[in-house]
Structure 1
Amino acid sequence: MISEKSKIFNEVLVDAKHALDSIGIPFHLHSGTALGAHREHDFIQHDDDIDLAVFYEDVNDKSSVDDIIKSMENNGFDLEAKLGKLNRGFELKFTHNIQAVSLDIFWVYPGRYRGKDYYILSSYYGECDNLKHKMCVWAYRPYDTVKIKFLGHTYNVLPKMTLVDAYGKDWKIPKKFNYYEGLEEGYKSLIRDYFKPVPVDNKIAFCFLLYDSVVHGKQWYDFFKQDKFPIKSYSVYSHVKTITNKTQEWIRENHIRAIKTGWCEENLVWAWINLLKQALKDPNNKYFVLLSGECIPLFGFWDTYKEITASKKSRINIDLNSEATIETGLAYADQWILLNRKHAELLVELKTTEKGKEFVKNIRKLIGDFCPDELYPVNWFMENYGKSSFASFKREFNVMPTTYTYWDGKHTSPIRYTSPRMRKDKGKICSSGALFARKFNKKAGIELSGKCDKRKSPRRLSRRSRS
């Protein structure tokens, strides 16, 4: 019995087949799609896209590429990205405009690796952004495709020999991993000596403000583990209110001297500033993220790194229509913010300069019952950059969320996601522009952490971050 997902994927594949056949472009099923055709005689149920490939010797001129794009668009696809160069590492990424299924077309090139002939293919995103030429390179023994009857149609498909190259001799045994997890350890054909270190002088400081531990500690541990380079491109700092046996070892190793803090107290601002002061001691830290102990990363490490470092601006999520703004006349913003080095140094001045101390003295009279950590930083930045106009403020800051939180308007605290609610809202969370999200129970956090796929919306996040 064919599943509903397989019906949808099959419809998308047939549309692509018609688009390519109609203009005489030979193609074959590749990667996970080829694996499913051989092993399951079906689409792999946890796979989230369709993989096709063409040989460079068959499609090597711009007019043929233009014909492919036009024919695909005429058959229900939108072009999402054109990656690499036609003579090296080319890839077209499409999305079916009815079924919203991603489909990739890879170019396969003849090449040599370690003195032997191979077919070479490239892919992008994730850890690939930090490799030579910003792409992953895959090597397969030269192959001839085989014809397979697959869900009612005949296709050219990778031979079983190539599945051994790609997935190992045990390729017939199902293993569940996504593209990013496969980059880490699942793919056998990835040329792993192609790696090169990222610049050490462009590090991100992850600053955790904690009660006693990181709630989703394993998810964060796995997130940081994706940076395999000897010289890391990140730093971790933590302010832990109470160290207990729940406090993770990697948090203990990086915690600063704690001060007494409480919910909605001014000391939360000073704890954050103390974290910044410590992180600023490393001149290679260029970005500083304030994180809650209850948040999770939405994307893989390298997508997060790329998104943060792509913009020189800081991020702050201002709500000019908030209750706090209406009652006090002050700007209100999420306390979970992302700062560049210049703005991190400026925020520290709130505590260390006479101007900053005078600002704090004055704002204390205005905030009423509202929380200082949601008012002090943003209004200090407005004091320095936004006095003339909000437009001048936006020249320094991207006004967008760093951490996604769901408020229903009925409660004074954010809603904690369960798995069913998270699955329902996953699309909204992943497309919110945020890089992190908070308030998930254990199961929901495991299911969502790192599972948002930047490849499915390659333009949305990048465009917003560069505004």
Structure 2
Amino acid sequence: MLRIMRFVFKDLSIGLIRVLCFLMVFVIGIVIGLLSSSHVDRYFTSQPYVLNPNQAFAINPNSLCTSSINETVSGNDRNGNVGVSCVKEDCLSMESFRFPKNVSHGMTDEELLWRGSLVPENAHYPFDRMPKIAFLFLTRGDLPFLPLWERFFKGQDAMKYSVYVHSNPGVKLDVLNSSVFYKRQIPSQAVEWGKVTLVEAERRLLGNALLDFSNERFVLLSESCIPIYNFPTVYKYLVESKYSFLDCYEDPSRYGQGRYNRYMKPDIRPRDWRKGSQWFEMNRALAVKVVADTKYFNLFKRYCTDDCYPDEHYMPTFVHMFHEPLNAGRTVTYVDWSVGGPHPVSFEAKNITESFLKSLRNNGTTCSYNKGKSHICYLFARKFESSALEPLLELASKVLEY
């Protein structure tokens, strides 16, 4: 009996093992089949073209680095400026890198000045470079002499100049899309007269203009400035100059040396202190040095306060200390300080005569230019009231030659 039971159990165990082996092979086959099917699906769905030729579409390889004309970056940046994506162009192309077509961006001042300070080690440009003059307008509101400036630029080669406008936030220039000022307002911040925010705005304008690698000369202008020579004369004078034009002189009075703060020592000593008009013109080499500076600007930001007026002292002192050989030591913007006080003479409609404009252009004096002498000392003049626009437009073609 026991022998019979051993045979029965032996037969049952052999059958159970066979069933288990069959089930294992079956399950393994199902798993292999599922994995193979998933791989095939991924292969076909990842191809540039679908199987049905009537529904075939090609993936545009350029779509990986281009944007639709309607695409914009959502949200605001840290400065509250709305950023705009690249528009129908290769975002990494040389063209977009060397010649930004839109002055809107989302960079902070720190990021902007860092990028503006970049200098290529290779002196050879991989493109045909036409030196441009960057006209930097630092304004509180509108540009009252915009019609005069439009006439100044009219008919000129657009590859020889660029325009940048820094105005208080909320100000929007009302110009036609054909205007040279159309969409040329840079991301700006509030500015107070006599405060370090003026210098920050100047550096912000330089930083934006340096992004265009063709900009070679940079002239700072206010809303009350006018050009007193035509564009070809201004272009030739600046582009051919070996030096920058930054006003820089010693003033032993309380309005000069008296503004020095002893806490700036030892980095800035009393004998280093200089004064000058803020309305500068400089070449690219000097502009890069100015935006790259953090040490001395921060000293001015910390210690040149109250009645110090950093816009009259920071750049003259910094350039005198480190880059004097690059500077002519004078300005090309005429200002009349003959009445004294904190503000220059303002010119109204009644002041605008043919003889007055001729005196601005050439009053018989000469000045240094490229180690020589020139009868052209000033290219621009200020400070003009808005009432002067009409008589200026009437005399511009006859006297100013534009």
- Scaled to the shorter chain, the TM-score interval is 0.5 to 0.7
Q: Give 1:412 deviation, angstroms.
A: 2.0
Q: Provide closer, same or farther for how the CA distance between residues 218 and 358 of structure 1 changes in structure 2, counting only shifts above 3 A.
A: closer
The answer to whether the 8 Å contact 2:194/2:309 transfers is yes
Change (3 A) 1:246 1:215: same
1:346 pairs with 2:289: yes
Distance across 1 between alignment mates of 2:243 and 2:399 = 23
* From 258, 277, 283, the counterpart of 2:207: 277
Identity %: 28
Cα distance, 1:312 vs structure 2: 2.3
Amino acid of the residue matched to residue 275 of structure 2?
Y
1:200 Cα deviation after fit: 4.9
| Letter paired with 2:381 | A
Which of residues 292, 310, 321 is equivalent to 1:372? 310
Measure, in 1, the Cα distance between the counterparts of 2:327 and 2:150.
29
Aligned residues: 242
Larger relative strand fraction: 1
Q: Which residue of 1 aligns with 2:234?
A: 304
Decide which of 316, 323, 344 is 1:414's aligned counterpart: 344
Find 1:213's aligned residue among 123, 130, 142: 142
Work out whether 1:236 is the aligned partner of 2:174: no
RMSD across aligned positions (CA) = 2.6
1:257-268 mapped onto 2 (5 Å cutoff): 257-268=187-198
Q: What is the alpha-carbon distance in structure 2 between the residues aligned to residue 419 and residue 404 of structure 1?
A: 18
Q: Is 1:429 aligned with 2:368?
A: no
Structure 1 segment 358-397 matched on structure 2, within 5 A:
358-361=296-299, 364-365=302-303, 369-385=307-323, 393=324, 395-397=325-327
Distance in 2 between the 1:207 and 1:341 partners? 14
Corresponding residue number in structure 2 for 1:326: 257
**Structure 1, unaligned runs of 5 or more:** 1-198, 351-355, 386-392, 456-467
Question: Matched residues in 2 for 1:269 and 1:448: separation?
Answer: 30
CA contact (8 A) 1:212 1:243 kept: no
The alpha carbon displacement at 1:359 in A equals 5.0
Q: 1:260 Cα deviation (Å)?
A: 1.8
For residues 21-40 of structure 1, what are the structure 2 equivalents within 5 Å? none
1:115-126 mapped onto 2 (5 Å cutoff): none
Give yes or no for contact 1:363–1:376 (8 Å, CA) kept in 2. no
Q: Match for residue 22 of structure 2? A: none
TM superposition score normalised by structure 1: 0.47
Query: Where do 1:433-448 residues align within 5 Å?
Result: 433-448=377-392
Secondary structure class of the residue paired with 2:388: helix
| Contact in 2 for aligned 1:298/1:448 (Cα 8 Å) | no
Higher relative contact order (CA 8 A, sep 6+): 2
Question: SS where residue 217 of structure 2 aligns?
Answer: strand
Q: 1:30 is matched with which residue?
A: none
Partners of 1:201 and 1:306 in 2: CA distance: 13
Please tell me whether the aligned partners of residues 256 and 275 of structure 2 are also in contact (alpha carbons under 8 angstroms). Answer: yes
How far, CA to CA, are the matches of 2:300 and 2:192 in structure 1? 22
Cα offset, 1:448, TM superposition = 4.3
Aligned 1:131-210 pairs, distance under 5 A: 200-210=129-139
Q: How far apart are the structure 2 equivalents of 1:452 and 1:412?
A: 34
Structure 2 CA distance for partners of 1:261 and 1:441, relative to 1, 3 Å = closer
Give structure 2 stretches of 5+ with no counterpart. 1-127, 261-269, 364-376
- Give the TM-score of the pair, scaled to structure 2: 0.55
CA offsets 1:196-254 (integer angstroms, 9 cap, x no match) = xxx85211111111112212010001111130x3x521011111114446544543511
Q: 1:307 to 1:416 in 2, by over 3 A?
A: same
- Report how far residue 319 of structure 1 moved: 3.7
Q: Distance in 2 between matches of 1:447 and 1:400?
A: 29
Change (3 A) 1:364 1:409: farther
Q: The residue matched to 1:260 in structure 2 has which SS?
A: coil
What secondary structure, in the 3-state scheme, does the structure 1 residue paired with 2:347 have? coil
For residues 248-273 of structure 1, the C-alpha deviation after alignment (integer angstroms, 9 at most, x for no partner) is 45435111111121111111111111
Based on CA coordinates, which of the two structures has the bigger radius of gyration? 2
Question: Are residues 253 and 359 of structure 1, via their aligned partners in 2, closer, same or farther at CA, if it must alter by over 3 Å?
Answer: closer
How far apart, CA to CA, are the structure 1 residues paired with 2:332 and 2:360?
12
Residues 425 and 339 from structure 1, CA distance in 2 versus in 1: closer, same or farther, beyond 3 angstroms? same
